[in-house]
Amino acid sequence: MKDDSTDYSAKAIEILEAAEIRIRRGGFEAVSYRDLAADVGIKAASVHYHFPQKALLGAAVVDRYSDRLLATLGRVDLTQTTVEAHLQRLCSCYVAVVQHDEMICLGCMLGAESKDLPDAVSAAARRFFKRLLDWLESVLGDRADAATLAVHIIGTLQGTMILAVTLKRPELMDEVAERLKQLVAV
Amino acid sequence: MKDDSTDYSAKAIEILEAAEIRIRRGGFEAVSYRDLAADVGIKAASVHYHFPQKALLGAAVVDRYSDRLLATLGRVDLTQTTVEAHLQRLCSCYVAVVQHDEMICLGCMLGAESKDLPDAVSAAARRFFKRLLDWLESVLGDRADAATLAVHIIGTLQGTMILAVTLKRPELMDEVAERLKQLVAV
DNA sequence: GTCTATAATTTGATAGAC
DNA sequence: GTCTATCAAATTATAGAC
């Protein structure tokens, strides 16, 4: 009774998970069928059975990631929760991404590469950011600068992630997240 | 009478320039000696004459990019120019990067990939961000929150670049840069 | 400096047996 | 579903002629 029509086999899901980690570590080009096969304990040709083309695998990974993040953020309901609490949820997600996974966001990686990606993958990355911005804009809905502020906040979270992993200073995420909350409080 | 000891031949510089563009478009893995050779009108084996190993080529590209950006930003001199003017210079650089080049920053791309890069290249990316943060921290030197604010500003510029190119909305850079100036004015 | 030729490896993808 | 076998193409890099 799931609302999305995609249902994958257990092995297909293993492959999607392995691909997500590898993309987030080194980018789309750095992922190979051979490595994914080793990750899930089968041969490269068998990975092609589940995902015939790499571009379609990439798009599937992104859509799965989008669904998961948006589900974690939850529906926007300002009658039950404050703007601050919604923002806190978003920041928590991204602080956890860096401090727990020691990786950047999938959208951040594919967004950076988007000029060189197969169309199906760059389109999926664009969809990801649109959904994320839509969520945040509706959280900030009553403000005149909602759209720009949403870009500012998402941009800051994405860019700070890059700084945090490159400089190996995960605590930067926390510090900047605190500043973002003050930004909205004004 | 240049102060850095690296002096490259004219062809080597052509290669560095071609490599910078290709890395910024698709990442380090997406660049091949064959493509670079075609860019500068020689064969792949001849590129190896100028840069024997790809990792060293990558590091050279980054250091060159660092030197150029830091030179454009100029020395920090708060007796001659205001904090706001210094920040304006930084924002102008990054707005131009997106609107003119239609590419993201080299440091942003390599920072995203840094987990999977040859050591020489990821170390160069780290150096780049350290130099950039140092510059901005000394601009903000008199503020108690200089370090965190510098991370916030650089992070925002980097992340917004990703959003702008992915969503094909270059004007986002301008809008967010305006907000950053207000941030410092407070 | 640039070339041809080549080595050794890896890549995405397909055909067909089981 | 997974396998072996195979393919054509691309990869980084080296050797040696000019």
Q: Which nucleotide is nearest to A41 (CA to C1')?
A: D2
Question: CA A18: distance to chain centroid?
Answer: 15
B61-185 homologous superfamily = Tetracycline Repressor, domain 2 (1.10.357.10)
Largest CA distance in chain B: 56
What confidence tens digit (pLDDT) does each residue in B107-155 have?
999 999 999 999 999 999 999 999 999 999 999 988 999 999 999 999 9
List residue ranges whose Cβ is under 7 angstroms from nucleic strand C: A 31-35, 44-45, 48, 52-55; B 9, 11, 37, 42-46, 49-50
Cα of B122 to nearest chain A Cα, Å:
8
CA B106 – C1' C1 distance (Å)? 29
What confidence tens digit (pLDDT) does each residue in B42-85 have?
999 999 999 999 999 999 999 999 999 999 999 999 999 999 99
pLDDT at residue B3 tops 90: no
What confidence tens digit (pLDDT) does each residue in A20-79 have?
999 999 999 999 999 999 999 999 999 999 999 999 999 999 999 999 999 999 999 999
Domain A59-185 has CATH 3.40.50.2300: no
CA B46 – C1' D18 distance (Å)? 14
pTM for the model: 0.97
**Measured distance CA(B158)–CA(A159) in Å, rounded:** 5
Instruction: List Cα–Cα distances, A17 to A13, A24, A158, B88, B106, in angstroms.
Output: 6, 11, 21, 42, 28
Q: Give me the residue label for tokens 């990786």.
A: A103
Q: Give me the residue label for tokens 């594919």.
A: A110
Closest CA to B50 of B9, B4, B5, B7: B9
Q: Which nucleotide is nearest to B52 (CA to C1')?
A: D13
